[in-house]
């Protein structure tokens, strides 16, 4: 099992305090840019009912699911209360030469 760095997008493709959806193979991810331009990534689907989080709202370090308003801290993946009870998986992200790279274990 090794980490493989996957090119996601250019830095400018994600607005500050926003999120985009990134699909790779059979998996979907949510990639975030914080208000101070740090990048993070989590699993793309809400652990409550498998809704794409990239359609939700980023508020400071929280992503809110668009369907039932479940909230996670996208830095740690921690579920912040009902109706979400299961944490999100998080992934390492880095920026190189203006590109956002996502670490995927293969």
Partner 1 sequence: MHEHNAAFEKTDKPVPRDYRLTGPEAARAAQKGLVSATWYQSPISRKRMKELMQRRDGPALRDTAIWLSAMAVTGFGGYWFWGSWACVPFFFVYGLLYGTASNARWHETGHGTAFKTRWMNDAVYQLSSFMFMFEPQVWRWSHARHHTDTIIVGRDPEIVEPRPPSLIMMVLSLFRMPYALKTMGSVCRHAVGRMGEEEQTFIPESEWPKVARDARVWLAIYGLTVGTALFLQSWLPLMFIGLPTLYGGWLSYLFGLSQHVGLAEDVLDHRSNCRTIYMNRLLRFLYLDMNYHLEHHMYPMVPFHALAQLHEEIRRDCPPPYGSLSEAFKEIIPTIWRQRKDPSHFVCRPLPQRAASAATVQAEPEVTPA
Enumerate binding residues for partner 1 (CB under 8 A).
18, 48-50, 56-57, 59, 64, 66-69, 71, 82-83, 85
C-beta of 10 vs 59, nearer to partner 1: 59
Smallest CA-to-CA distance from 18 within 31, 3, 1, 5 is with 31
The least distance separating partner 1 from the CB of residue 1, rounded to whole angstroms, comes to: 30
Cβ atoms of 102 and 29 within 8 Å: the answer is yes
Cβ atoms of 31 and 8 within 8 Å: the answer is yes
C-beta of 37 vs 69, nearer to partner 1: 69
C-beta of 11 vs 57, nearer to partner 1: 57
The least distance separating partner 1 from the CB of residue 97, rounded to whole angstroms, comes to: 26
Phi then psi for residue 13, to 5 deg, are -75, -15
């Amino acid at each position: 099992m090794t980490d493989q760095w996957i090119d996601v997008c250019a830095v400018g493709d994600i607005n500050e305090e926003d999120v985009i959806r990134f699909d790779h193979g059979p998996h979907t991810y949510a990639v975030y840019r914080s208000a101070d331009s740090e990048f993070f990534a989590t699993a793309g689907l809400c652990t409550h009912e498998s809704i794409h989080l990239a359609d939700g709202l980023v508020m400071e370090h929280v992503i809110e699911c668009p369907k039932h308003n479940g909230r996670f801290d996208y830095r740690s993946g921690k579920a912040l209360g009902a109706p979400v009870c299961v944490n999100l998986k998080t992934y390492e992200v880095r920026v190189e030469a203006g590109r956002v790279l996502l670490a995927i274990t293969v």
